[in-house]
Amino acid sequence: MTTLTLTPGAVSLAHLEQVFRQECAVRLNPDCRSAIAAAHARIVEAATGEAAVYGVNTGFGKLASVKIAAEDTATLQRNLILSHCCGVGPAIPRAVARLMMVLKLLSLGRGASGVRLELIDLLEAMLAAGVTPVIPAQGSVGASGDLAPLSHMAAVMMGEGDAEFGGTVMSGGDALTAAGLTPVELGPKEGLALINGTQFSTAFALAGLFGAWRAAQSALVTSALTTDAIMGSTAPLQPEIHALRGHRGQIEAGATMRALLAGSVIRESHRDGDTRVQDPYCIRCQPQVVGAAMDVLRQASVTLETEANAATDNPLVLAEAGLIVSGGNFHAEPVGFAADMIALAVAEIGAIAQRRIALIVDPVLSFDLPPFLTPKPGLNSGMMIAEVTTAALMSENKHLANPCVTDSTPTSANQEDHVSMAAHGARRLGQMVTNLERILGVELLCATQGVEYRAPLPTSDSLQGVMARLRSVVPALEDDRYMANDIEAASALIASGEIAEGTGVAMPELGA
């Protein structure tokens, strides 16, 4: 297992994607340990003092006015975790749970939370050993932090709750014992530090971002293939057009599609004598639409990278000022906005791709391709219902793209009277990205079939490589057959990134 050493406050999207896509062990840069220890010393001092400090020697939420005796500090933190383990629904994916743990490490590592180094060490050891808390998917409103899901993580650190270890789900205590680890007894503020924060929402938003970007890259490939299949024009890809508008994503999308189609004999065959003046928007405006979506994804990525490096619990230890101050960094509004932006981008990439699929199966619009891309229309239905499936997925994504961050409701006896709903706003992105991958998978099937009907005229070398990769797992469609497996195989190529990576053409990068 690879071990990454990360510096809190300076972690990149590339690091976070590596954590998400690979089973990495993670350690914090040792340079951050002194600040963590200093903040903890300040919390210990406050816990034994007379002044009320929220969550250190008081109750929580609406019960913040209740003073807690020093001898009850450990019980206070334990009760906090157990009472907040109210998550429901299916367990979240292991990769997202591990990313959430890493994000919590990074937040604690900023040295503003006041926890002991033992908690840092235990989280690092759990990641290295593969002890993954079982986190129910539902129960967070995205303020005051992702309380319920993070409590299920913290419970395992105490030897409670459930965890997965070695492929088996067991009690948190048994999982730690099997891994040779010892549970902790939480000290002053430590329970609050573990569960006040946006790490659940941010982990899901990052997972959605990474999947969406990979899909956006693949959409440039499938759209180029469709352009050749319907003998579309490359004139709208002229660089001057995109430079005159100036949007980075559009410029990059146009350049990528030009490179993908370079050398296509199909394209050269109809430059002269083609009576069509303009292609439909789904062909002509792909750089403008997917390029804009790429720009939106990049905007969301800036927010999420910032959030991944943030201290988001409450109260925070302001070491230089010598203060412990209650604030609101746990409010996941930035993450909620970012998740809504990602959702819009995903929906639009799928919407324009679905129109290309509808175009290519329609003999009136596909420039003489057979109806539904079958050699025996009537006896065979070909890609007819595959296109219908993409229409269903497109519509579902449109529905899911409605904003979540605007849907606040008061909780906790009106103490927490405005919340972000970032948790399910981010969690829905997983289904949306999967829907998009399947739409693009169907486009890959249709476009490849369409280009094959243009034989003996070949497409570009780059796109021929894409077609060969698809044909290694899905044969050409002749007589009707069971289609679901073909769609899943093509979608898997989209999800894995193979379609974009295998072209030999440089793809736009997510980073600024």
Rounded Cα–Cα distance for residues 75 and 277 (Å):
76
Rounded Cα–Cα distance for residues 145 and 122 (Å):
22
Report yes or no: 31 and 111 within 8 Å, Cβ to Cβ. Answer: no
Rounded Cα–Cα distance for residues 251 and 242 (Å):
5
Report yes or no: 102 and 19 within 8 Å, Cβ to Cβ. Answer: yes
Rounded Cα–Cα distance for residues 137 and 357 (Å):
34
Select from 181, 156, 142, 143 the least CA-distant residue to 85: 156
Helices (H), 246-375: 248-261, 265-269, 281-284, 286-308, 333-361
Rounded Cα–Cα distance for residues 470 and 493 (Å):
8
Alpha-carbon separation of residue 324 from 135, 201, 403 (angstroms)? 30, 25, 35
Q: Encoding tokens for residue 438?
A: 């399947």
Helices (H), 362-421: 384-400
Q: 437-473 burial, b if ≥16 CB within 10 A, otherwise e?
A: bbbbbbbbbbbbbbbeebeebbbbebbbbbbebbeee
CB atoms within 10 A of CB 406: 12
Report yes or no: 215 and 493 within 8 Å, Cβ to Cβ. Answer: no
Report yes or no: 6 and 27 within 8 Å, Cβ to Cβ. Answer: yes
Q: Encoding tokens for residue 314?
A: 């409450």
Which residue out of 54, 281, 453, 482 is catalytically annotated?
A: 54
Q: Encoding tokens for residue 246?
A: 């100036």
DSSP state of 323: E
CB atoms within 10 A of CB 21: 14
Cα angle 289, 294, 298; round to 5: 150
Rounded Cα–Cα distance for residues 77 and 188 (Å):
7
Report yes or no: 221 and 500 within 8 Å, Cβ to Cβ. Answer: yes
DSSP string, 37-80: HHHHHHHHHHHTSSS--TTTSB--GGGTTSB--GGGHHHHHHHH
CB atoms within 10 A of CB 379: 9
Q: Name the one residue in this structure whose structure tokens are 């003073």.
A: 67
Helices (H), 401-483: 422-452, 461-471
CB atoms within 10 A of CB 272: 6
The question of whether 54 is a catalytic residue gets the answer yes
Rounded Cα–Cα distance for residues 155 and 183 (Å):
9
Catalytic positions are: 54
